[in-house]
A = this chain, B = another copy of it.
Amino acid sequence: MLEEIKYYRTYDPGQPIMFEGDEMQFLASVVTGSVKLSRTLPDGRKQMLGLLLPSDFIGRPGRKNVDYDVEAIQKVTLCCFRRKPFEAMIEKTPHIGQRLLVMSLDELEVAREWMMLLGRKTAREKISCLLSLIARRYASLHLKSIGGRQSFEMPISREAMGEYLGLTIETVSRQMTSLRKDGLIEIAGSRTITIPDLAALMAETGDYIEAPMMNETHSLTQHRV
Pair A43/B109 contact, Cβ less than 8 Å: no
Q: How many copies does the complex hold?
A: 2
Q: Per-position contact with B for A146-167: 1 when CB-CB < 8 Å, else 0?
A: 0000000000000000000110
A107 within 8 A of B: yes
Distance between Cα atoms of A100 and B114 in the complex (Å): 22
Picked from B47, B62, B206, the residue with its CB within 8 Å of the CB of A120 is: B47
A64 within 8 A of B: no
Pair B104/A42 contact, Cβ less than 8 Å: no
The residue in chain B whose Cβ has the minimal distance to the Cβ of A49 is B112
Contacting residues, chain B, for A90 (C-beta < 8 A): 98
Pair A105/B60 contact, Cβ less than 8 Å: yes
Q: Per-position contact with B for A123-158: 1 when CB-CB < 8 Å, else 0?
A: 000000000000000000000000000000000000
The residue in chain B whose Cβ has the minimal distance to the Cβ of A114 is B115
Known A-B contacts A43-B206, A111-B108; the reply to A61 vs B101 at CB < 8 A is: yes
Picked from B43, B62, B98, B119, the residue with its CB within 8 Å of the CB of A166 is: B119
A189 within 8 A of B: no
Contacting residues, chain B, for A41 (C-beta < 8 A): 116, 120-121, 206-207
Q: What residues of chain A have their CB less than 8 Å away from a CB belonging to chain B?
A: 37, 39, 41-43, 45-47, 49-50, 60-62, 67-68, 90-91, 94, 97-98, 100-102, 104-105, 107-109, 111-112, 114-116, 118-121, 165-166, 206-210
